[in-house]
Amino acid sequence: MKNPLITIIIPIYKVEQYLEKCVDSVINQEYRDLEIFLVDDGSPDKCGDICESYAKKDSRIKVIHKKNGGLSDARNVAIDVALGEYITFVDSDDYVSDDYVSTLYGLIKKNDCKLSVSGYIRFGEDDELKDDNKVIKEYVFSPENAIKEMFYQQKFDTSAWAKLYHRSLFSDGLRYPVGLLFEDLPTTYKLFQKSDKVAFSTKETYFYLRRSTSIEGSPFSQKKIDSTIKIINQLESDFSNAPQFKKALSSRILNFSFHILLSMPFDNENRLFLINKINSYRSTVIKDKEAKMRSRITCLLSYFGINNITRILKKINY
């Protein structure tokens, strides 16, 4: 049987120095039946020209030039015109292994499901990556258990990348929220909910670059806290009648709150919102043996004063 067409979507903005490595890793996939969207999200550097040069060399590549609208908007534009039976995302400052797509599709085919996830490696710009020959394990989760695993951030997280989605999961207008940062968090669990089951391999096929100029690494901004408040409110609303997710959701919201709190100035008026969230969820997380030990210890220390513990966590780059 002929392999299905798989769409790879790469949103691009101000990543001139990383783009070629990213695109090279995608066009060199073992799995060849690909549709590759390079979405130039109004990038002011030479990214647009680099995209066009790749399109001339590989007929599988389609370039979209658009006005800057953010990561969600760039993904959504490509989703709307994608022809692939399956869709996956790669961020333009990251790269993937040669078997990235074949690993994810192999999981779907083997387990007859609509969504798969692979492991990833997080690295810094000065890090040297080494092969460590880890033992590869595979798991199959129900949507409910997959969401719990994701909220606990143990085996995998809420990122859009390192996952392969059947295009039907984006039906009914499900898209990434335009205008929000951390857009994966309020979206990925909805895709999980629509899937029949979720297959996961610990095989590390995605390489995620931590850089200071990314959304995650950039300094605090009001948009960060505004997005955080909206996302936490949405999570609490969406799972308000789902007590089976209470502990896992508590862990995710608490870790998210701490993550943003650490980047905020101490005089920011929105600190109280996050502190109240931490106070609300820390007791649940401390008692939860499935929560990360680091999270449980941080919650315990927070009883000595959240401002004090955030000062300490900042110093040790928590």
SS3 track for the chain: CCCCCEEEEEEECCCHHHHHHHHHHHHCCCCCCEEEEEEECCCCCCHHHHHHHHHHHCCCEEEEECCCCCHHHHHHHHHHHCCCCEEEECCCCCEECCCHHHHHHHHHHHHCCCEEEEEEEEEECCCCCCCCCCCCCEEEECHHHHHHHHHHCCCCCCCCCCEEEEHHHHCCCCCCCCCCCCCCHHHHHHHHHHCCCEEEEEEEEEEEEECCCCCCCCCCCHHHHHHHHHHHHHHHHHCCCCHHHHHHHHHHHHHHHHHHHCCCCCCCCCHHHHHHHHHHHHHHHHHCCCCCHHHHHHHHHHCCCHHHHHHHHHHCCC
Average pLDDT of the chain is 93
Percent of the chain whose pLDDT exceeds 70: 93
Domains with residue ranges and CATH for the chain: 6-210 (3.90.550.10), 222-315 (no CATH)
The alpha carbon of residue 59 and the mean position of all alpha carbons in its chain are separated, in whole angstroms, by: 28
Instruction: Give yes or no for residue 318 having a pLDDT over 90.
Output: no
Tell whether pTM > 0.85.
yes
Q: What is the pLDDT of residue 48?
A: 97
pLDDT of 126 reads: 65
pLDDT the model gives residue 308: 79
Q: Would you state the pLDDT for residue 216?
A: 56
Whether 96 shows a pLDDT value over 80: the answer reads yes
Is the pLDDT score of 100 beyond 80?
Answer: yes
For residue range 131-169, what is the model confidence (pLDDT) as tens digits? 666 899 999 999 999 999 999 998 999 999 999 999 999
Question: What share of the chain has pLDDT > 90, as a percent?
Answer: 83
161-175 pLDDT, tens digit each: 999 999 999 999 999
214 falls in which pLDDT band (50, 70, 90)?
A: low
